[in-house]
Copies of this chain bind each other. A is one copy, B any other.
Amino acid sequence: MLQGNALVGQSGGPTAAINATLAGVIRGVLEQAGQGPIETIYGMRNGVEGLFRGDYLNLTDCMDDAKLEQLIHTPAAALGSCRKKLPDSPDDPAYDTVFAEFRRLNIRYFFYIGGNDSMDSVVKLTAAAKCRDYDLRVIGVPKTIDNDLVETDHTPGFGSAAKYVAVSIEEIIRDCSVYTVPAVTIVEIMGRDSGWLTAASALPGAVFGEGPDLIYLPERVFRIEQFLSDVRAALAKHPNVVIAVSEGIKDENGEYLGGGKTPGGAQDVFAHRYLAGTAKYLETVVKQEIGCKVRAVELNLPQRCAAHIASETDLEESVFIGASAVRAAVDGVCGCMMTFIRTEGDAYRVVAGTVPAERVANQIKVVPDSMITPDGTGITDEGIAYLLPLIQGESMPAFVSGLPLQFKF
């Protein structure tokens, strides 16, 4: 057994469940304490930023069951996050300070909770350790509301975001149903390159028979003329048309919609195009071309931080996969990302698996054709069967004076 201490960090965009995974990793370490090889777990502040500036917290000392329970129900990243990329070359001298610090603290287990950019960091840190002959078990634990990581059935954090989207769409449909005047409401949902979250807007329709009239995913080319024809047909059926669109829908030329009308063009450090205002753009188009009442609603940040309506299934699985990462690392797994494997059979159940991180890094998993209806504006039964188990159960935080109690380090 590789004796030593552990370091955990969080990276990328916040979710309602990334702290649940952190709690799982901490719990996994605390559970093996005394019998297992890991003595102390440290948390680095702001992901690999904290790694480079040596900014750590001793989590073994400062966490107990009550605090872990609060942490599970707190959105965002309690340790802070970053979008920093690690140096490409494993022998880059920038790594030297990091490994000096690892030696000083005897760090032998490294857990990095994040999306596909973070899996890139897992690959690079594994290589940098090998290059220095430093025995380090590096494990990536997935998270992203986008659900766009390959090799895993779904990602921790997605279920809670999907539940927020489905519940909000259901409430917005109710809200929009009250007037008799024809009106179009366009709801913009997060998802840069994949339509998983937007697909979740179909769930109220599947459960209660009343969902968005039209759903547009980035997996299909978005054609304005077809869109206007779809909207006119929907308005002919009933006055209150609700449409779900992914922020990432693109036109025939692969250009984001309304890109010219947004603060767009700005690029983040991982070269993802900055997106805003898809629904606002479509609002203008519908107003001009159809002339009815139109409203754009961007669900925005609450999609990833509305912990008050988290999916119980998501939070439980997020804790589970964090603890599973510790067991995998102790068992000798290295350079891998944890995965969910959905078991065969009628009842929904997942088990934890592992996959080499390089098979995940910088890949995108999109919604398959079999989950999108042939007309491209709806989700098939297969899609619903995939999505519905992920939003089951309500897991509320404790409330103090009418507001959610949040954990802070």
Contacts and interface: CB of A to CB of B under 8 A. Distances in A.
A272 interface: no
Interface string A303-344: 011111101000000000000000000000000000000000
B406 A170 contact: yes
A400 B306 contact: no
Contacts of A388: 401-402
A236 interface: no
Contacts of A309: 308-309
Contact of A175 (B49, B75, B280, B392): B75
Contacts of A175: 14, 75-76, 301, 304-305
Contacts of A57: none
A39 interface: no
Contacts of A178: 10, 14, 46, 76-77, 80-81
A21 B280 CA distance: 34
Interface in A80-123: 80-83
B167 A207 contact: no
Given A263-B283, A402-B391, A306 B49 contact: no
Contacts of A148: none
Contacts of A168: 302, 306
Nearest to A407: B174
Given A80-B179, A171-B305, A301-B297, A391 B403 contact: yes
B172 A302 contact: yes
B166 A402 contact: yes
A300 interface: yes
A77 B174 CA distance: 8
Nearest to A269: B181
Contacts of A283: 263
A232 to B, nearest CB: 20
Contact of A180 (B82, B207, B277, B300): B82
Nearest to A307: B171
B404 A163 contact: no
A74 interface: yes
A204 interface: yes
A404 B263 contact: no
Contacts of A311: 402
A207 B400 contact: yes
A307 B301 CA distance: 19
Given A76-B174, A170-B404, A203-B403, 7 more contacts: A163-B402, A168-B302, A175-B305, A207-B400, A208-B403, A392-B402, A394-B396
6 contacts: A76-B175, A167-B308, A170-B403, A176-B301, A207-B402, A308-B309
Interface of A: 10, 14, 46, 49, 74-77, 80-83, 163, 166-168, 170-172, 174-180, 185, 203-204, 207-208, 263, 277, 280, 283-284, 287, 295, 297-302, 304-309, 311, 388, 391-394, 396, 399-404, 406
